[in-house]
Chain A
């Protein structure tokens, strides 16, 4: 049972570089989310998707883009990385949001120098 898989797990970037985080889920979930986790800030929603081909902004969308071309995949892109984007990124998915059960990946630790 893979569940929610994030790649890569760790990455170090220089300021201005670009990268893409991939989230894949094998549970046929409609909803997918990208969060960032920072000390003292908890989890903050970056972008989310309520179905294939749809995306929406969360609390902290600036500097990030997302795409949901396939139902099972949700990509998070950083076009020009900044040190403020150093964080741990979590992807989550849910089949029916009303149940409240988000399934999380193990996280991706990104450091921007």
Chain B
């Protein structure tokens, strides 16, 4: 069925390291793809999105490219900061556009 799979954590990186969090999806059709971030004690908030193949979403130094051929939407950042410590969720919408499927979340801890 339709779903989102993202790499399991937790991930621990040193400050200024390169970050990649993998995300793949299955879908009938071409969903929009999203990354949400959840900081400790807060609800999720949208980090970036891409609505069609080859689109690149970007925000706060994070980037992800919608790859139709590999059904992937990997999140990257060139130099992480301590303030990036959070849980990251990959998500996709449905053909009807009124529901979302979320991945299981990847916890990132950045140490000074």
Contacts and interface: CB of A to CB of B under 8 A. Distances in A.
B20 interface: no
Interface in B23-39: 32, 34, 36
A42 B105 contact: yes
Given A100-B34, A100-B49, A48 B98 contact: yes
B46 A106 contact: no
Contacts, number: 53
The interface size bin for chain A is 20 to 34
Given A41-B104, A100-B49, A58 B99 contact: yes
Given A42-B89, A45-B99, A48-B99, A105 B104 contact: no
Contacts of B43: 4, 90, 92, 104-107
B102 A42 contact: yes
The interface size bin for chain B is 20 to 34
A1 to B, nearest CB: 13
A100 B93 contact: yes
Interface string B30-65: 001010100001111110010100000000000000
A113 to B, nearest CB: 23
A97 B93 contact: yes
A106 B102 contact: no
Contacts of A13: none
B98 A97 contact: yes
Interface of A: 4, 31, 35, 40-45, 48, 50, 58, 90, 92, 97-98, 100-107
